[in-house]
Amino acid sequence: MAAHQEKKSEERKRKSTQNDTQTSQAQWGRAWEVDWFSLASILFLLMFAPFIVYYFIMSCDQYQCSLTDPVVDLLMGNKHLSDIWNKTPPLTYRAAGIYTLWVTFQVFLYVFIPDLCHKFLPGYVGGVQEGAVTPAGVVNKYEINGLQAWIITHLLWFANAYYFHWFSPTIIFDNWIPLLWCANILGYVVSTFAMIKGYLFPTNAKDCKFTGNFFYDYMMGIEFNPRIGKWFDFKLFFNGRPGIVAWTLINLSYAAKQQELYGQVTNSMILVNVLQGIYVLDFFWNEAWYLKTIDICHDHFGWYLGWGDCVWLPYTYTLQGLYLVYHPVQLCTANAMGILILGLIGYYIFRMTNHQKDLFRRTNGNCKIWGKKPEYIECSYMSVDGTKFYSKLMTSGFWGWARHFNYTGDLMGSLAYCLACGFEHILPYFYIIYMMILLTHRCLRDEHRCLSKYGKDWKRYTAAVPYRLLPGVF
């Protein structure tokens, strides 16, 4: 293991005298020019994303999840904006207390409880792990203990629900709008702090990105891997803990609310809880792999991740469960089975595609994909200091079918969650619409970055694997 890591770090440090790569390759991951479209999109999101989240949650609270009724009411003059606003629950001391306790508890689990899961769970990779090489050539270390945090949090949740009864399991649903204000406060505080920190005391100054455009820098972030102290990594913490640990708890709270209101939990609610639960557990089981995904490897930490993890993720990814509290859909067995199968196939494709890349990269291509040695394209790139690195792009397995087949699996799973809610309202389908936009945009963003990173090698790769998401279509 030590020898393998030494070899890897030697490989990283290997400098090459020949410089056959385009100069732009040294610029990968930094020095973006802000075009008008990016700026317009950023301004739009900064202004409207918080409003969109509020609108969805308010429409459930006041209009049984109808997205059109509030607009009709306003246009017909039946209601004024002030009527809707006055009916909206305000920030409460209770919600502030719950939220503070929740975030503090997650910080405690993240910072003070080193991972034990990797000691007794075969195949699980936890404890101290290395991230990918940053554009400045830094390799960060991370304490991977998300699975442990998830298990402890959920054990406590069930212990409370079935034994201690400190609080009602419907607590999240019952305080959902007051908690929204708390999540927004944290999201804005964290993003603003990250921006100031990027200017005044960055963790790694060489990995900061200043475009000169305030809005772009605030949204997309300045610092690459902001940290407090040696271990508190903003990206890993905010995405995983207030974001993804909360996801399954929120769904459980919705299921508890259904039970309280209707005396039963519908099969659609169980489906949403199970399918999203698999996705969440998968994330934590593979948290070390997550260090190699775009969020950690390429995105800087700004409002997009800070506010997104605190507000957007917990509030929009859980819309299906929220909807099912207001509309308890009971699916016929055939439909429930069909949706379960779609969700599981989607998950299988998502996981296997990600696994194939991870295995391929970890073994440097010395592995078997579908029983055969993987095919690949050799490529090179340079960090800002001119160090040349080598890498490989796989062209077999699912990565030979399309350049982002993992996204295709993710989209199938996302569609399954939405279908579980039936066809009465559009709100539960927001997730699949959003994921299609997010992942298509991600394809383009990632490919733009890979082109500037690998130059002509990337072009050889796209010629070998011509489709992005669906072979023969896109």
Which residue ranges make up the site for ligand NDP (CB under 6 A)? 293-294, 350, 354, 357, 391, 393-394, 399, 404, 406-407, 410, 442, 446, 450, 453
> CB 101 → ligand NDP: shortest distance, Å?
26
Closest listed residue to residue 103, CA positions, set 314, 287, 303: 314
| Nearest-10 Cα torsion for 433, 439, 445, 451 | -140
Residue 80: other Cβ atoms inside 10 A: 11
Write down the residue that tokens 């069909």 correspond to.
Answer: 338
Write down the H helix ranges in 64-175: 69-75, 81-87, 93-112, 117-120, 146-159, 171-174
| Closest CB to ligand NDP among residues 79, 355 | 355
Exposure of 299 in the CB half-sphere (CA atoms within 13 A): 23
Residue nearest to ligand NDP (CB): 293
> CB 309 → ligand NDP: shortest distance, Å?
10
* Dihedral-angle region of residue 91 (phi above 0 means left; psi in -120 to 50 means alpha; beta otherwise): beta
| Closest CB to ligand NDP among residues 259, 462 | 462
> CB 398 → ligand NDP: shortest distance, Å?
9
What is the Cα–Cα distance from 189 to 186, expressed in whole angstroms?
A: 5
- Sequence-distant (6+) residues with CB within 8 A of 112 are none
| Closest CB to ligand NDP among residues 224, 399 | 399
| Closest CB to ligand NDP among residues 267, 320 | 320
> CB 120 → ligand NDP: shortest distance, Å?
27
> CB 318 → ligand NDP: shortest distance, Å?
12
> CB 450 → ligand NDP: shortest distance, Å?
5
Residue 13: other Cβ atoms inside 10 A: 10
| Closest CB to ligand NDP among residues 59, 293 | 293
- Both tokens of 311, joined, read 């507000």
| Closest CB to ligand NDP among residues 70, 365 | 365
